[in-house]
Structure 1
Amino acid sequence: MANGALHASEISLGCMRITELDVAEAGALIQTALAEGINFFDHADIYAKGQSEELFAEAVAGEGIGRDKLLLQTKCGIRPGFFDFSKEHILASVEGSLKRLRTDYIDVLLLHRPDTLVEPEEVAEAFDQLHKSGKVRHFGVSNQNPMQIELLAKYVKQPLIANQLQLSITNTGMIDAGINVNMKIDRSIDRDGSILDYCRLKDITIQPWSPFQYGFFEGVFLDNPKFPELNAKIDELVEAKGVPNTAIAIAWLLRHPARMQPIVGTTSKARLTDICRASDITLTRPEWYEIYRAAGNKLP
């Protein structure tokens, strides 16, 4: 990851939908991930109401995979109808995840979306307790802007090493604002406080979630007739690079010098293998911008 805190794979397997598989299928997926060089697995306490963590642990045990082979990230803070960054909830959530994941420690704990009622002193107390006990080794956030992170950082002693944010070829707000500075157009509106540059300055790894989605879970853009120009450009690069279109989409994120760590949520072994081909190629600067423009973005 960006600050050198962890030797994590550049692609992470998101486990939100792993309960769509049975234990044997989940085990095979995890083994495929490891074979492809993925050692980082993303969870959250709310995924399938905790069942995703449980199934993952059962699959790992069934495959006889050692804990030292895995880096486990989980998230807490989302409750039915509200967000909760209280010390009591953070500690209780971690205890639940540890039990479900059948582990003594979490490698990375993220605060899952902002809680506007956050009392950062309580977060700091929770993080201190978890860190000193060895139950959590590293900490981060999800979907937070620079000032929200700065507020936490004023009180929290541990570095915040990751920020999980929605980003894909068709969801590029954090990129658009930086390209269209000082222009009276929609793309110049900075909706997130220059979070991309901020994370680079602070050595915080951006973890793009839903890297194949457009809108807010509206569907995938690959092979979608709504995006003919984009798919034509991607298909052109598929032919030139000899990799699947999923690999091109992830390679586009990996090409950014922010050294992002995409979270891919596939439950298909074959698709996961295809995605990991992204690590075999590097898009040129012109190719990166060609994809960006093909998604409907105009350069100033």
Structure 2
Amino acid sequence: MKQIKLGGVLDVPALAVGCMRITSLDEKGAQAFVYAAMEEELNFFDHADIYGGGECETVFAKAVSALKIPRDKLFLQSKCGIVPGKMYDFSKEHILSSVDGILKRLDTDYLDVLLLHRPDALMEPEEVAEAFDLLESQGKVRYFGVSNMRPDQIRLLKKCVRQKIVANQLQFSPMHAEMVSVGLEVNMGTDGAVDRDGGILNYCRLHDITVQPWSPFQYGFFEGVYLKNEKFPEFNKTVAQLCEKYGVEDTAIIVAWLCRHPADMQTVTGTMNVGRLRALSRGASVRLTREEWYRLYLAAGHILP
């Protein structure tokens, strides 16, 4: 499995195994899924305290225990800060209590990475800094990151937070590539030129913050999958041609497209299907040419000025 350096400091697989849907599996199914991930050298698992109301972390922990996987063979990442249907909460009290709950459900003494899940409009960086310092000093969290944040929000956070921000989880795929189009359609009166993120891609690259693309197979905001979707014939035709060339599945080509970007991203998977997980793993070893990367970008409906 291709390795990247998360935040410039931590060697991890190029794919993070997203566990948001693991409660859809029964006990044996969860064990088989985690076992397959480990076989593929995919030992970085992504969680959040709101996934399944916390049950996803519990199901995962039971599978790990049954498989007797040593803790030091795993990278565990989770997220906090969302109070579903009510608010976002980056208060010191909420962060600390959330982490305690995460650790209990994951049956572990520490998290490798903690992400702040979505920006809190009422964020006080001083409180976040106090929470991070305490979690680090107690050995409960080793590295820290964010999710869905713009550069100015990270800069505000870093006003007080002394720990390095190692990751920023953002929606990104050929069908959701505004982070790229804004840099190509500079100063144009086109939709792709609209700055929606403050230049977050280049900011992350400049500061060694690893971008973790989420929902890489969805178009819009959870509107559906675009692979094998009749709404996108040209894109799927292009993907099929590349599948034939490289001898891999269509999902693997999307992983290859994400891995080809020099930002060294860590794609977050979402499948609970062992076969599809193995297919995604194969995509990390495919090296698309520059022309092929742009072919997919154009087939997704973007333009080159």
Q: What TM-score comes out, normalization by structure 1 length?
A: 0.99
Asked if 1 retains the 8 angstrom alpha-carbon contact of 2:89 and 2:120, the reply is yes
CA displacement, residues 25-59 of structure 1 (integer Å, 9 cap, x when unaligned): 11111111111111110000000000000000001
| 2:259 is the alignment partner of 1:254 | yes
Secondary structure of 1:165 counterpart = strand
Correspondent of 1:42 among 19, 43, 46: 46
- Report what 1:112 is aligned to: 117
- Report what 1:100 is aligned to: 105
Correspondent of 2:13 among 3, 9, 18: 9
CA displacement, residues 211-241 of structure 1 (integer Å, 9 cap, x when unaligned): 0000111111110001000000000000011
Asked if 1 retains the 8 angstrom alpha-carbon contact of 2:109 and 2:140, the reply is yes
Asked if 1 retains the 8 angstrom alpha-carbon contact of 2:238 and 2:296, the reply is yes
Q: Structure 1 2/56 Cα, relative in aligned 2: closer, same or farther at 3 Å? A: closer
Identity of aligned residues (%): 59
- Report what 2:208 is aligned to: 203
Secondary structure of 2:284 counterpart = helix
* CA distance in 2 between partners of 1:3 and 1:170 (Å): 25
Asked if 1 retains the 8 angstrom alpha-carbon contact of 2:81 and 2:94, the reply is yes
* CA distance in 2 between partners of 1:154 and 1:247 (Å): 40
Give every structure 1 segment of 4 or more consecutive aligned residues whose post-TM-superposition deviation is greater than 6 Å.
none
In the comparison of the two structures, how many residue pairs are matched?
300
- Report what 1:176 is aligned to: 181
Q: Structure 1 3/112 Cα, relative in aligned 2: closer, same or farther at 3 Å? A: closer
Secondary structure of 1:155 counterpart = coil
Give the C-alpha shift of residue 2 in structure 1.
4.1
CA displacement, residues 165-215 of structure 1 (integer Å, 9 cap, x when unaligned): 001110011111011011111111111000000000000000000000001
Give the C-alpha shift of residue 3 in structure 1.
3.1
Secondary structure of 2:12 counterpart = coil
Secondary structure of 2:162 counterpart = coil
Give the C-alpha shift of residue 280 in structure 1.
2.1
CA displacement, residues 35-87 of structure 1 (integer Å, 9 cap, x when unaligned): 11111100000000000000000010011111111100000000031000000
What stretches of structure 2 of length at least 5 have no aligned partner? Answer: none
* CA distance in 2 between partners of 1:228 and 1:21 (Å): 32
- Report what 1:143 is aligned to: 148
Please show how residues 215-294 of structure 1 align to structure 2 within 5 Å. Answer: 215-294=220-299
- Report what 1:55 is aligned to: 59
Q: What TM-score comes out, normalization by structure 2 length?
A: 0.97
Amino acid at match of 2:91: S
